[in-house]
Amino acid sequence: MDVLLCRASTLTWSQSISPCLHSSAKPFSRCEAKKFRVFCTSDHTQKASQMTVSVTGATGFIGRRLVQRLQADNHQVRVLTRSRSKAELIFPGKKTRFFPGVMIAEEPQWRDCIQGSTAVVNLAGTPIGTRWSSEIKKEIKESRIRVTSKVVDLINESPEGVRPSVLELVKPKYLMRAAHQEMITWLSDYCAKVYCLVCREWEGTALKVNKDVRLALIRIGIVLGKDGGALAKMIPLFMMFAGGPLGSGQQWFSWIHLDDIVNLIYEALSNPSYRGVINGTAPNPVRLAEMCDHLGNVLGRPSWLPVPEFALKAVLGEGAFVVLEGQRVVPARAKELGFPFKYRYVKDALKAIMS
């Protein structure tokens, strides 16, 4: 099939399909999908030649947008999922012809998908925003290590010639020290003692990938988008006039807009300079109270009712630390690489999301 690429240096991907940017887990509609078939690219995207990208966790909040992003530039996508029926609801390719480049594969077919892919992006893992029982804690760790280990083994077993040349692991940002490590300028004791260990093991699993595969470990902040992640939980509270800082409000909130994290992942697929640890957070982290003030302003709702620490612990269990104990993270490496953040300030990011 011929692909028409037209230069449009002022047209960026997200501008060209912005009405679709906040679509949720519901299947993409006919009208939304039509808008993905935009073959104009910016200078930024034009350099990427056609790729075949296998994505685990593609059905999730970040993965869905990444698939749209890849499709918009006419790359082939292989959705590696635990459930074909769930993935087919989200990417109804066969039935509607609107996701023609998306192939869906359950675990037994992952090997065939990975072989012949240009790159693999690993996003899978049990959600962390639920109440942490001891079983959930175990699952949070084991699901990530299990999928990463499987992906790494399948890449390593792939014969040369069909072995992917890039592996991206996208994960939370908790880790203080490692080779080529980016610094986190503030991290609570709890994170340092408990969650870092999970992340270290997780990254350690990814580091077992063959040395001829370029590995990018993208450590991300709290992703802001309308229909998923932290904001999806906060917006309804604010709309009921019950929004406010969680805990003291003084904890750091290292965030990134969904478009920026997807663009960063996308850039890392094709740009060989993106390797090792890269913090995926916006350049200007804020205190949580400031973030809540901006959210209240954007929604036209007050941010006046602080949620006390004990209430959060009652709802989220040990997982409350994710919101109660922040980390201040800056994207030094991404800046060094010249990554063009679209949203540098949380106020602008929230305005764009709510507009």
Q: Within 331-350, which residues bind ligand NAP (CB under 6 A)?
A: none
Q: Rank residues 163 and 196 by Cβ distance to ligand NAP and give the closer one.
A: 196
When binding is defined by CB under 6 A, the residue of 59, 68, 71, 251 that contacts ligand NAP is 59
CB 327 within 8 A of CB 173: yes
When binding is defined by CB under 6 A, the residue of 147, 167, 213, 353 that contacts ligand NAP is 147
244 near ligand NAP (CB under 6 A):
no
57 near ligand NAP (CB under 6 A):
yes
Q: Rank residues 151 and 298 by Cβ distance to ligand NAP and give the closer one.
A: 151
When binding is defined by CB under 6 A, the residue of 114, 155, 213, 222 that contacts ligand NAP is 222
Question: In terms of C-beta distances under 8 Å and separation of at least 24 residues, what long-range contacts does 16-22 make, across chains too?
Answer: 16/40, 16/72, 17/68, 17/72, 20/68, 21/65, 21/225, 21/258, 21/259, 22/225, 22/226, 22/227, 22/353
When binding is defined by CB under 6 A, the residue of 109, 111, 112, 127 that contacts ligand NAP is 127
Q: Please tell me the count of residues contacting ligand NAP according to CB under 6 A.
A: 29
User: Rounded to 10 degrees, what is the CA torsion of 202, 206, 207, 210?
Assistant: 160
CB 78 within 8 A of CB 55: yes
113 near ligand NAP (CB under 6 A):
no
Q: Rank residues 17 and 198 by Cβ distance to ligand NAP and give the closer one.
A: 198
Q: Rank residues 150 and 347 by Cβ distance to ligand NAP and give the closer one.
A: 150
Q: Rank residues 129 and 302 by Cβ distance to ligand NAP and give the closer one.
A: 129
Of 2-10, 47-55, 165-173, 262-270: span binding ligand NAP (CB under 6 A): 165-173
Residues near 247 by Cβ (< 8 Å), separated by ≥ 6?
288, 306, 307, 308, 309, 312, 323, 324
Q: Within 75-104, which residues bind ligand NAP (CB under 6 A)?
A: 81-83, 86-87
281 near ligand NAP (CB under 6 A):
no
Applying CB under 6 A, which residues contact ligand NAP?
Answer: 57, 59-63, 81-83, 86-87, 123-128, 139, 143, 147, 170-172, 220, 222-223, 228-230
